[in-house]
Amino acid sequence: MTKKTILVVDDEKQIVELVTSYLLKEGYHVLEAYDGIEVFPILQRDKVDLIVLDVMMPGMDGYTACEKIREKWTVPIIMLTAKGGEMDRVQGLKIGADDYVVKPFSPKELVARIEAQLRRIELVTQKKTSFLRFGALEIDLEGRTVTVEDKKVTLTRKEYDLLQYLVSHEKMVFSREQIHDYVWGMDYEKGTFRTVDTHIKTLRIKLGQYGNHIKTVWGVGYKFEGDNE
């Protein structure tokens, strides 16, 4: 799977470096800019999947940049700013921002919000393609059903969500924490991520030979790797 590209725009170099380091660890491709004006040549040149955009910048502030971006592009935008007042948030959302993170911020939370925005886009895209197929394994995205060799596989809701998540991101490695947050939710309290291992084990059994396509990446997590026939 092609890496998603995130454009980080902030006039504070330390902020850009911090966000970039966390995104690189999560497997993203990162582009950097230090002024709103620098955004547009990048958007003309590169395919950008999401923009993290600071508000208070010299040259062109984030609000102005956001408005101009929306004239041509639909790329998701997360505003990043020290201005946390309600009116500031409302202004950002009204001019086209998709989310708003206030400084000082948790880099992990920012990454989670980025992932949430990208998932939203992927779900919209998936509605245009109602089936995922890998050989005789077929996932009906609208009906939320799974068949192997034309035989229905009975899955719980969580098992289906887990399988669909991995198959939709073929060959992308996810940590247990990432899987847990997506399937069970970030607010779901759990002492360990052992429940992820349990569901993976059950999925492998229920999918038969196709369960072998769910690979363990030791020390990291899991991925789905299948030859699409």
pLDDT of residue 76: 92
Instruction: Write down which residue in 124, 152, 181 finishes a domain.
Output: 124
Question: 29: closest CA among 46, 14, 45?
Answer: 46
- The parts of the chain modelled with pLDDT lower than 50 are 1, 191, 228-229
CB-based contacts of 70, cutoff 8 Å, min separation 6: 95, 96
Please check whether residue 103 lies inside any domain of the structure. Answer: yes
pLDDT of residue 56: 87
Phi, psi of 99, deg, nearest 5: -160, 170
pLDDT of residue 229: 42
Question: Are 136 and 213 found together in one domain?
Answer: yes
pLDDT of residue 191: 47
Please check whether residue 58 lies inside any domain of the structure. Answer: yes
Contact 24, 30 (CB under 8 A): yes
pLDDT of residue 68: 92
- Rounded to whole angstroms, the Cα distance separating 62 from 25 reads 26
pTM over 0.85: no
pLDDT of residue 24: 94
- Output the furthest CA–CA distance in the chain (Å, rounded): 61
> How far, CA to CA in Å, does 175 sit from each of 64, 117, 193?
37, 19, 10
Structural domains of the chain, count: 2
Question: Are 137 and 211 found together in one domain?
Answer: yes
